[in-house]
Amino acid sequence: MADWQKITGGITAPRGYQAAGITAGLKPSGLPDLALIFSEVEAIAAGVFTTSQVKAACVEYCRQRLQTKQSARAILCNAGQANAATGTQGYLDTLESALAIAQALNISSESVLLASTGVIGQRIKMDALRSGIPKVVAALSETGSDAAAGAIITTDLVTKSIALETTIGDRPVRIGGIAKGSGMIHPNMATMLAFVTCDAVVSPALWQQMLARAADRSFNSITVDGDTSTNDSLIALANGQSRTPAITEVGVEAEKLEAMLTAVCQHLAKAIARDGEGATCLIEVEVTGAHDELSARQIAKTIAGSSLVKSAIFGRDPNWGRIAAAAGRAGVPFEQENLQIKLGNFLMLENGQPLTFDRAAASAYLKKAAVGAYLQQDTVLISVNVGNGYGVGKAWGCDLSYDYVRINAEYTT
């Protein structure tokens, strides 16, 4: 059983945080497009960002900020323009954004982190941003998580939010998070933004290490379409307002905090994968028997990212051969005669040998997931065993439908 419980409140569930989301006129649609997360005190800050060589200005800015100062009080996120591949002026816009929100909050610009999402090649609409900043600061609230979650989305169909609570040192500790992402989703990382708040007291180095591991087991283990974004950002704050004993080294309390952080990230990651553009179900792939966790995750990610596997799931076709082929090309050595494949409860391959199974029932299992309750009965489970090793890994994806092409064919038109 998990050593925590789900609570309400999202990113403002932890103590000492406020959030807001408003319409500033950045999106052509007129929907909310400017979000702010604010800690009442300086918070330890950690981040994981895209590995793409083409990085948005906000990513370069945050990387530099966190190298010189591992703390922050505010995260400002605009939606509508990615401000990626916008040259020197795009970076100057980023610096101006940080200074403007810092002045409005009466804090140092060095305590500001930034994120952007939207169309690549488009600068932020600075006039709209400038006029929106006083409004988003005025809207800050201890119940503003939902508004912030709604202001960071683009093609998402639903907002993504969670909060968990555990006990450390006989006091409650909370972690909350919001995220956005629906397309351009692939490991390392994917058009996704995720913001996490925590009220524990934790050292900067340990918090960064925890976040990096949590990212590997969540956001770096999801895929929608094989495309990695220019703007991927996962930023986590820990402001110490729980007044618990400081966590400065590996131990029981650190493990508990990291496990809850990982659970928050995995929930948000699965929500992103399920909300993949045009998707009708979530795909969860679990690989066992590998040499180590990294190898198991690599096989799982390859299967979850296979266009042929994803298309078969959308067609409700229990074509296990595509799963076997994806596992075989993952770049991880294993003996073919050890391979086992299950789709839900249907055993299809055992010791490398095909088995007879009820194809109609297996297809019905896929159809049922397509109409199942969100993040509950809408998951297709693929289980793969590759040997006798101790490595276990999971990855998440979604099916590939006709609508994915339609959505992305018309993205800027």
- pLDDT higher than threshold 50 for residue 304: yes
- pLDDT higher than threshold 70 for residue 359: yes
User: Average pLDDT, stretch 180-194?
Assistant: 64
Higher per-residue pLDDT: 145 or 53: 145
pLDDT of residue 192: 77
* Burial (CB count <10 Å: 0-12, 13-18, 19+), residue 45: buried
Q: Which residues pair with 193 in a beta bridge?
A: 180, 233
pLDDT of residue 380: 96
* Burial (CB count <10 Å: 0-12, 13-18, 19+), residue 372: middle
3-class SS of residue 154: coil
| Residue among 360, 359, 399 nearest 379 (CA) | 399
pLDDT in tens, 136-151: 999 999 999 999 999 9
User: Average pLDDT, stretch 205-233?
Assistant: 84
- pLDDT higher than threshold 70 for residue 18: yes
Give catalytic residues, as residue numbers: 191
Q: How many of the other CB atoms lie within 10 Å of CB of 245?
A: 13
**What average pLDDT does the chain have?**
92
pLDDT in tens, 290-303: 999 999 999 999 99
Query: Which pair of tokens denotes residue 401?
Result: 């439908």
Q: Cα separation of 188 and 220, whole Å?
A: 5
Would the pTM count as exceeding 0.95?
Answer: no
347 and 385 Cβ atoms separated by less than 8 Å: no
Share of the chain above pLDDT 70, in %: 95
pLDDT bracket for residue 190 (50, 70, 90): very low
Query: Which pair of tokens denotes residue 191?
Result: 């058009």
Q: Cα separation of 299 and 282, whole Å?
A: 18
pLDDT of residue 186: 54
Q: Find the helix or strand (DSSP H, E) in which 164 lies.
A: strand 160-168
